[in-house]
Structure 1
């Protein structure tokens, strides 16, 4: 029998020694390919790390180029066009007097390649599965690799009366081993403090699609292994380890059926509880079913425990839980009803870690149902490093100023379960408050102040919790002359005027302290506001014309553009579509910077 045989069925009658040798060879090849899987994963992570280093170097060179030539571009205005299908048609009426003469061709070439990737892969959303074409390509690459190492050199050993227990149906044993070998990767992708996200340069929530789809590949391998074994009539016999395998097979089928977006959206708390219980049961059953491969399971458990331990250390320190015994173990958050479906939660966190604009945190509420579970929300308050108000003098230290104590503000949309109960508490209670535990901060928005000429931010409803801190951060940097951004356009669409008036005063201050940047704040309302007094000057009735706003921003820009959106799916997709149309790799190669548009959609979902 050749080592390179693919899916070869041994037709002749084997002796006992030959059958045992063939079975040992099959196990050896399965172990080899399981090790190969992790070699490829390590190489892929190293490749992503190298890419991140190169991108940071290029971004640093680019920022120095932009900062050194802020006054190069003078562009003539372009009349409004409503039916552009491609940026090039709009570009015919643009007459730049200066292009990118100071930017080397190699930089323009790299920017054009990145723009091509964003336009035709990253910004193209695949229907139903709701991931981008680029993300789908990465998933297909992994699935294709797993399929290849599953079928290469897998002999079929038919039943033999001399050794009936070593019957192998092609890919059965290898599928089981590959499923177990990929378990540590699934845990790495699910961890909030993730080495994979650091090496890929992506936040934890933005690689969750990998956790979902790689998890499905793992479950498919486990189900394939179990199905092949069930085909054999003598699978169970007197071997107890096979009964553990049957249990794991049933749990794998349960996870495959019920691990989907619909379950997450309709019953988040229930899904998380059952998902964790099922995964723990699956690992325990595999422990007894495949005792020779406990190394992968130990690695899986170790990675999970390490993530939980690091998170609890952060939670204990940042929530001052170590002060238990001298004061309350948790801070109390205040609730305010903003609308029929939105609640504002605010809590004072003296020891909370500094956060960047656009960061998010997980909120749990001891004393409420499902309190051990935590829910992710964007921090709507300004970044902690920007709190410049002076505290009273301390009684100790002779006039030393206390460190500013930031307030964390979260806007929570009421759906089902915990969020709905929180909304009812704010609705039915006078001066409602509740103890909270915060896990975070995590991630943050990309750095905008050194790389872009124009920043355009769209927010819908609770989406202001992501865009408002970005606006404040850009204005603060412009006031300190630390930003290359010339123009910031902030567009917000709300249903109800009075419920969001808490940040109007802050917006008016932002416009007044804008420094060198030109700030354009626009708030659109879809409800009648005739009975509301003192409507701010930036109020605009009706829904925003997204296409016109983006086209207007592109026409007025003198450099690269950043377009960010946070809010409902419909407007977000419209912003994505318009940004994709305006992106032009060919214009970048010619030296027109306005074809270089970076689109970012902030949606924490599944």
Structure 2
């Protein structure tokens, strides 16, 4: 029983007490004046209806997730269509028309609907407000906000009562529906707390149900936090106006109200929530650093939940699940890391052991050094597209960062090869690069340095994972693959191509890689993997295109005639390059060896000294396909991802997909996480 929230009730006059879930008990019958009794009727009725609405909100969320899960299973069980007979296929090829599959009306409707949705919902929304997120996510946010707004106002009788103050003739209280409304939005804010924590979990239950990677929910987590802040602020403002202005006499009522225990905890909760919002802004994260933001966010979130518990204990049913979800998430992370590293030790016994990685540092004084990690680890294969969180105990055990292996997993193998590349700009990655360079320098192995490269350092690595979407499950048998990467984003798309390179090739499948780097030496980061692609995948022999944007600054590229002699084919007919530099460095293109012993002449890659026109790249690729849709995989700077969303959206034609032309069914899967 909360005596401090007994309102205007006198428990000494109670003949019966009526319990109300999540609220103070009510005295019946009411012994106050008629206006006060009517006001109490509305207060308790509005609260009871509000509790019912929170149940409806959670039932709706559960129903959406259930329908989503059933729909995923139903979509997987549908046949992929019937291929045309061989004579019809040959005739279509001779006529120059794309060879399509005969699909059922339901499947064509499904594909056409998805194509239409991508056409209108894939591009970025208002970037100045929401950042680089798709219209789909903003639409979900708008629907959720509208849904909550309806429940914030429905079921409340809006009225005003002027009631006398006992034992103070001529003094009156103003009682309005402002109080029940302020209580309603406070209850909804409590009810949304576990949802906010669910949206932020790495070991995400939502990912298991929907199949979406946990990072897909970060936008909704952030904006749901803003909604909770707005609700809490309005709840606070509402009761401040009521207690400090409408209730009389003042300032006596206000002074007695603000020092009550439940109000002190309410003030603490509001102040902590303000700090949570301020520290989560992009400006604060840039100023304090991501790791400071992350750890402060954890601590403040726990303090906020505790303060909310102290403010209104009756609603702890919404707070306890949030705490449990958070602790389960942290516990599962620790268990997964322990199991991943519980292997045979050199002594022959079983125990916890970090993975010893070989480190190669590619020097870059302007943009930050690039570090490559390579090591073998005994574990099961992960799925292509997934990533691991890496911790470097020799630098700090309190930080972990997400990185995608650029090596392809091998199913059935006893151990897996891990290879990562990371840009060392600042923070933990810069410390790793500096530590590696110091170890190399101590060895005095000057011969290991070549063209800005330092090799043969050792570093311990702890892993947690894998996490992320299983992107290969969404690729149909006749899909065409276009991979676009910028800089270290090559780590996300390379495993996709390596996986296809290890499988029997579909004759009509088109695959291509477009990689944008700043300098020619950047190719050394992944030279072994590029060589594997050239050897194994025939469909990629004319599909590896590397664009060097700053070649003219270094004299990296040779003119067409010299490049031809070096074994590098000219791509001027595809996209007009900028004026090439002097040919004095052409010999290095064919003879220089990377640290892995792979010469660039062996790769036989196309080098273009220009930035690619992504719209032309996507349009020409789609137009050149024979059958099936196109899956575009991309990773790189935010500006590149935004451009690709707009371009891929424009390449979709739902009407043509409905008529059976799958070439206009173009999908985009991108990885624009913090690691890039």
Give the TM-score normalised by structure 1: 0.83
For residue 558 of structure 1, give the secondary structure of its aligned residue in structure 2: coil
Other-structure match for 1:540: 607
Deviation digits for residues 285-315 of structure 1 (CA, Å, limit 9, x no counterpart)? 1111111111111111111111222221111
CA offset at residue 326 of structure 1? 6.9
Other-structure match for 1:568: 637
Other-structure match for 1:190: 200
> Following superposition of structure 1 onto structure 2, how do residues 248-259 of structure 1 map, counting pairs within 5 Å?
248-259=269-280
Range 522-531 or range 190-199, more displaced: 522-531
Q: Gaps (5+ residues) in structure 2?
A: 1-31, 167-171, 245-252, 441-455, 557-584, 591-599
Q: Does residue 617 of structure 2 align to residue 549 of structure 1?
A: yes
Task: Note closer, same or farther for the CA distance 1:49–1:237 as it changes in structure 2 (3 Å cut).
Answer: same
**378, 382, 391: which one pairs with 1:351?**
378
Q: In 1, distance between residues paired with 2:218 and 2:272?
A: 21
Other-structure match for 2:358: 334
Q: In 1, distance between residues paired with 2:409 and 2:174?
A: 64
Q: In 1, distance between residues paired with 2:522 and 2:401?
A: 23
**594, 598, 604: which one pairs with 2:667?**
598
CA offset at residue 70 of structure 1? 12
Q: In 2, distance between residues paired with 1:352 and 1:438?
A: 11
CA offset at residue 237 of structure 1? 4.4
Other-structure match for 1:486: 509
Other-structure match for 1:504: 527
Which of these two proteins has the greater Rg computed from alpha carbons? 2
> Following superposition of structure 1 onto structure 2, how do residues 4-83 of structure 1 map, counting pairs within 5 Å?
14=34, 17-58=37-78, 61-62=79-80, 65=82, 72=89
Q: In 2, distance between residues paired with 1:165 and 1:432?
A: 75
Range 450-459 or range 13-22, more displaced: 13-22
CA offset at residue 440 of structure 1? 0.6
Q: In 2, distance between residues paired with 1:17 and 1:465?
A: 68
Range 261-270 or range 303-312, more displaced: 261-270
Asked if the contact 1:487/1:518 (under 8 Å) is kept, the reply is no
Other-structure match for 1:274: 296
CA offset at residue 489 of structure 1? 0.5
CA offset at residue 192 of structure 1? 1.2
Q: In 2, distance between residues paired with 1:421 and 1:255?
A: 28
Asked if the contact 1:99/1:591 (under 8 Å) is kept, the reply is no
Other-structure match for 1:230: 240
Other-structure match for 2:626: 558
CA offset at residue 485 of structure 1? 6.4
Q: In 1, distance between residues paired with 2:87 and 2:295?
A: 54
**How large is the Cα RMSD of the aligned pairs?**
3.2
> Following superposition of structure 1 onto structure 2, how do residues 240-251 of structure 1 map, counting pairs within 5 Å?
240-251=261-272
Asked if the contact 1:319/1:349 (under 8 Å) is kept, the reply is no
For residue 399 of structure 2, give the secondary structure of its aligned residue in structure 1: coil
Deviation digits for residues 118-137 of structure 1 (CA, Å, limit 9, x no counterpart)? 11112344322121111111
For residue 192 of structure 1, give the secondary structure of its aligned residue in structure 2: coil
Other-structure match for 1:147: 149
**189, 204, 215: which one pairs with 1:205?**
215
Q: In 2, distance between residues paired with 1:100 and 1:349?
A: 43
Asked if the contact 1:453/1:484 (under 8 Å) is kept, the reply is no
Q: Does residue 481 of structure 2 align to residue 455 of structure 1?
A: yes
> Following superposition of structure 1 onto structure 2, how do residues 353-372 of structure 1 map, counting pairs within 5 Å?
353-369=380-396, 371-372=397-398
Asked if the contact 1:72/1:98 (under 8 Å) is kept, the reply is no
Higher RCO, 1 or 2 (CA under 8 Å, sep at least 6)?
1
Q: In 1, distance between residues paired with 2:262 and 2:85?
A: 69
Asked if the contact 1:184/1:296 (under 8 Å) is kept, the reply is yes
Asked if the contact 1:334/1:347 (under 8 Å) is kept, the reply is yes
Q: In 2, distance between residues paired with 1:22 and 1:538?
A: 75
Asked if the contact 2:407/2:419 (under 8 Å) is kept, the reply is yes
> Following superposition of structure 1 onto structure 2, how do residues 315-326 of structure 1 map, counting pairs within 5 Å?
315-320=337-342
For residue 471 of structure 2, give the secondary structure of its aligned residue in structure 1: coil
Deviation digits for residues 527-575 of structure 1 (CA, Å, limit 9, x no counterpart)? 2322624233113121334333323222220121111111122333333
Q: Paired residues, what number?
A: 555
Asked if the contact 1:122/1:135 (under 8 Å) is kept, the reply is no
Asked if the contact 1:335/1:343 (under 8 Å) is kept, the reply is no
> Following superposition of structure 1 onto structure 2, how do residues 258-269 of structure 1 map, counting pairs within 5 Å?
258-265=279-286, 267-269=289-291
Task: Note closer, same or farther for the CA distance 1:303–1:432 as it changes in structure 2 (3 Å cut).
Answer: same
